[in-house]
Amino acid sequence: MKTIFRTMIVAGLAVLAISCGNNEKKAQQTATSVAEEVVPTVSVAQVAMREVPQMSTYTSTVQAYVKNNIAPQSGNRIKSIKVDVGDFVTKGQILAEMDQIQLQQVEMQMKNNEIEYNRLKGLYEVGGLSKSDLDAIELAYNVSKTQYENLLENSVLRSPINGVVTARNYDVGDMFAMAAPLFTVEQIAPVKLLVGISESDYSKVKKGDKVEIVAEALPGQTFEGKIQKIYPTIDPATRTFTVEVVVNNQKRELRPGMFARVTVTFGVNNSVVIPDVAVVKQQGSGERFVYILNEDGTVNYKKVLLGRRMGAEYEVLEGVEDGAKVVTGGQIRLKDGIKVTVSE
């Protein structure tokens, strides 16, 4: 009986020893597995410094380079109209003719005054007329002559510029009133855009600088313009100053009223450029970070100051050195100082 009891005790101890051995082996395997799992695999890219054009894009509206309202100086009936809205006109081209009854009346008066002046001038030269009487008729002649020249100029309305007719407010036979011009003619080759630029860039902008313009109404097309005028004051409400950009627009594709984006280049910076996938945004703030790979295989979490975005890249103003290796994939499992494995 004692022998059987001893045998059972020995068997139980053996089973317990085997069980403990197995548990210890499993624990070691689990620890090894965990150790292997905490070394994340990441992809990296080596960054470099290069020239980065400094650009800013602004919104604006295309305007006619010159806009003229065409109208006679006094009320008169419209005799004929030669053009309509949308017609392209050249400088000096006749747009309309006004009724000439008043012109003819003034012309007759001018001629009568001229005849009388010449007659009295002869009398004055032989002493038959005083100087004051001669001056009076000379004044009357000059007034009628000036009136005639003004009416003559306004009896035929001509375009003062090359442009397009954008408004016509009267019909043939209407009596012209001063409330609205007869025509509006706008010069659209070239056109201009007024752009509000931040006051911090005031010293960077120069007359003659080239800019790029794109219009939403003309997708896929880019137009080149130049800064022609820089306004000398800053708007205290917007903290911007105005520049006038001129575009040749020889094909007349840009039209007044079109919405456009104007890109201005302020020079070139030598900056480190990193892939956009390397940038990590900290939740709850606008700060940006990247993971930098060290020589010992660890990574550091570094705050960066970003400049321009260029497609799939960012300019870095602060935080990353030339030649550094930044993590571009696998950041979700990383923390500062952790060791990583770099994928091939």
Question: Which of 180, 214, 230 represents a domain boundary (last residue)?
Answer: 180
Tokens (6 digits) for 150: 């003004």
Same-domain pairing of 222 and 307: no
Judge whether 35 lies within some domain: no
| 32-53: pLDDT as tens digits | 444 455 689 999 999 999 999 8
DSSP 256: T
State the pairing for strand pair 280-281/288-293: antiparallel
Number of domain units in the chain: 3
Assign residue 329 the CATH number of its domain: 2.40.420.20
Whether residue 6 is contained in a domain is answered as no
Q: Which of 268, 298, 329 is the last residue of a domain?
A: 268
Which positions of the chain have pLDDT values less than 50? 1-5, 7-18, 20, 27, 30-35
In a domain, 116, yes or no: yes
Cis ω for the linkage preceding 275 (within 30 of 0): no
Give the per-residue pLDDT at 236. Answer: 95
Tell whether pTM > 0.75. no
In a domain, 10, yes or no: no
Which neighbouring-strand residues pair with 25?
none
- What pLDDT is attached to residue 279? 94
Which one, of 257, 243, 251, 79, lies nearest residue 167 by Cα?
Answer: 257
Output the CA angle 32-33-34, nearest 5 degrees.
90
Residues 6+ apart with CB under 8 A from 144: 106, 109, 110, 113
Give the domain extent around 153.
72-180
Determine the 3-state secondary structure of 233 from DSSP.
coil
Whether 304 is covered by a domain: the verdict is: yes
DSSP state of 126: T
d(CA 45, CA 293): 9
Distance between CA 98 and CA 149 in Å, rounded?
14
According to the model, what pLDDT value does residue 32 have?
Answer: 47
Kindly report, residue by residue over 293-337, the tens digit of the pLDDT: 999 999 999 999 998 888 899 999 999 999 999 999 998 889 999
User: 288 with 253, same domain?
Assistant: no
Query: Is 291 inside any structural domain?
Result: yes
